[in-house]
Structure 1
Amino acid sequence: MSILPAEPGPSPKPTRKPRKGELTRAAIVDAALELAARDGLEGLTIGALAARMRMSKSGVFAHFGSREDLQIAVLKTYERRFVDDVLLPALGAQRGLPRLRAIFERWLAHTAAEAESGCVWISAATEYDDRSGHVRDELVAMIRSWQRECTRAIEQAIDAGHLVRDVDPQDLLFAIYGIVLVVHHDARLLNSADAVTRARRAFDRVIAAYSPRSPVSAPEKYERSVALD
């Protein structure tokens, strides 16, 4: 998940039209992504996909070396769409807290929109957390890459003076990531209509706790609350 601006270079060559086989493969992956969002990557079968595409099993299989290759193709397609929907638009915001907030808002909207269809990354995490293999390796690499992008935005907010210098970026990432996961849980499983509203309030509280204007830092607030219990 690399989003760094490309170095200036010669004008790109005209793109060629996709071949029929490439278009068919892309259509298969699109259908597979819909099935995986609903049934999970492990619920993705060549038979179900062939029925969905009205193709023979051999016709579907011919575009992928194995079921594992199909699952990885689904993950890569999801990652590309996630970047296009969440990260790239947020990069238009000013560096620092405005960009971090834009990332959160885009991520929050993306997660809320998946309350009906399901999130491939989150469902795959529960499927592959205790497995080994290439699918898990790809999933872990993608999520770590996304976390690095979020961490970069947090570090930029610190450098800009929008957050206190002594904040651990990983602590803030942990808090923000947790907020988004709870939104998915509450909106999808519990049908909570106010999950997004609560998430925004939680994000604002976290940011306020680490703001230079905050009279008490987040760790101090926590220690005081424990001492009072």
Structure 2
Amino acid sequence: MPRRSAAEALQTRSAIVERSVAVASVDGLDGLTIGRVAGELHMSKAGVLGHFGTKEGLQLAALEAAVGTFTHEVWEPAAGATPGRPRLLAVADGWLSYLERDVFPGGCFVTAAACEFDDRPGPVREALARHQARWLRALAADARVALRAGDLPRATDPADVAFGLNAVAMGVNQARRLLADPEATARGWRAMRALLHAPRARRRTGV
């Protein structure tokens, strides 16, 4: 019986997090309230609080889940590629596909959350900053490999490559969500390949 109860609690927690990610994707992490999630899942507020303690705890859980989805969608498919420029190109394709397919209903969850919390001290901002710093370090590490392999110009700063790829992805997200630019993903694809000094072979949609 205790084992079954633990499994049910885990299932309930997963359902709360899943709903929280969907709500926060559209309305922001500030729009994520205990009452709203409880109502949409036909639970009591106490039932939701019992799993996360506070609204901030729920926000952090939603962010962690969203980062996990980003990792699954963008990094994991590219992780097996040859380190250096080949892996960065695979990351670029996966990143743009993630944006193009609207994996989250409100666009890139992390981008939206970063804009929402960039000037607001606290645990949510700190968690976002850790994720972004870790992601930029991973991109820069492959850029260094590409530099050593001669795939990038000698004067290239790997941190600049990481910064540029991230900036392009954020720009694509904004152009798609705010401006409804039908060419946003294609522009992002060309910009990322230019940063990586890669040939602009014809792009396959939905990659």
Give secondary structure in 2 for the equivalent of 1:117. coil
State the shift of 1:154 in Å.
Answer: 1.0
Deviates more, 1:164-173 or 1:96-105: 164-173
Residue deviations 1:106-128 (CA, integer Å, cap 9, x gap) = 11111222385222211111211
> 2:143 maps to what in 1?
154
Give secondary structure in 2 for the equivalent of 1:19. helix
State the shift of 1:165 in Å.
Answer: 2.9
> 2:194 maps to what in 1?
205
- For the aligned residue pairs, the C-alpha RMSD in angstroms reads 1.9
Amino acid at match of 1:62: G
Selected match of 1:56 from 29, 38, 44 = 44
Between the two proteins, what is the percent identity of the paired residues? 37
Amino acid at match of 1:163: L
Q: How many equivalent pairs are there?
A: 195
1:23 aligns to 2:11 (yes or no): yes
Residue deviations 1:30-86 (CA, integer Å, cap 9, x gap) = 000000001000000011101111111111111111111110011111111111111
> 1:107 maps to what in 2?
95
Q: Retained in 2: the 8 A contact 1:68–1:135?
A: yes
Runs of 4+, deviation exceeding 3 Å: none
Q: Distance in 1 between matches of 2:175 and 2:61?
A: 29
Give secondary structure in 1 for the equivalent of 2:77. helix
**Cα 1:61–1:84 shift into 2, 3 Å:** same
1:66 aligns to 2:54 (yes or no): yes
Q: Distance in 1 between matches of 2:119 and 2:154?
A: 37
> 2:128 maps to what in 1?
139
Residues 190-201 of structure 1 mapped to structure 2, 5 A cutoff:
190-201=179-190
Give secondary structure in 1 for the equivalent of 2:121. coil
Residue deviations 1:106-159 (CA, integer Å, cap 9, x gap) = 111112223852222111112111111111111111111111111111112112
Q: Distance in 1 between matches of 2:105 and 2:15?
A: 22
Q: Distance in 2 between matches of 1:124 and 1:116?
A: 14
Q: Which runs of 5+ in 1 are unaligned?
A: 1-15, 214-229
Q: Which runs of 5+ in 2 are unaligned?
A: 200-207
Q: Retained in 2: the 8 A contact 1:116–1:188?
A: no
Q: Retained in 2: the 8 A contact 1:46–1:60?
A: yes
Give secondary structure in 2 for the equivalent of 1:164. coil
How does the TM-score come out when normalised to structure 1?
Answer: 0.80
Deviates more, 1:152-161 or 1:84-93: 152-161
Amino acid at match of 1:177: N
How does the TM-score come out when normalised to structure 2?
Answer: 0.88
Q: Distance in 2 between matches of 1:154 and 1:136?
A: 27
> 1:124 maps to what in 2?
113
1:185 aligns to 2:174 (yes or no): yes
